[in-house]
Amino acid sequence: MVAGRRVLEVAAGTGYWTQVLSGTAVAITATDLNAETLAVAARRQYGSADVQLLVADAYQLGTVPGEFDLMFCGFWWSHVARADVPRFLAAVSGRMPAGSPLILLDNRYVPGSVHPVSRIGPDGDTFQQRELRDGSSHEVLKNFPSPAQLAADLAGTATELAVTELDHYWLAAGRLC
Ligand X SMILES: C[S@@+](CC[C@H](N)C(=O)[O-])C[C@H]1O[C@@H](n2cnc3c(N)ncnc32)[C@H](O)[C@@H]1O
Using CB under 6 A, list all residues that contact ligand X.
11-14, 16-17, 32-34, 37, 57-59, 74-76, 79
Give the pairing type, strands 158-165 and 50-55.
unpaired
Give how far Cα 138 sits from Cα of 3, 4, 89, 167, Å: 38, 40, 27, 27
Nearest to ligand X of 79, 82 (CB atom)? 79
Cβ of residue 107: shortest distance to ligand X, in angstroms?
9
Distance CA 84, CA 134 (A): 31
DSSP-H helix ranges across 55-107:
85-95
Cβ of residue 12: shortest distance to ligand X, in angstroms?
5
Q: Taking CB positions, which residue lies at the least distance from ligand X?
A: 13
- Roughly what angle, to the nearest 10 degrees, separates helices 147-154 and 85-95? 60
Cβ of residue 145: shortest distance to ligand X, in angstroms?
15
Nearest to ligand X of 22, 37 (CB atom)? 37
Nearest to ligand X of 63, 159 (CB atom)? 63
> Sheet harboring 126-131: ordered strands across?
119-120, 126-131, 137-141
Nearest to ligand X of 148, 166 (CB atom)? 166
Cβ of residue 98: shortest distance to ligand X, in angstroms?
23
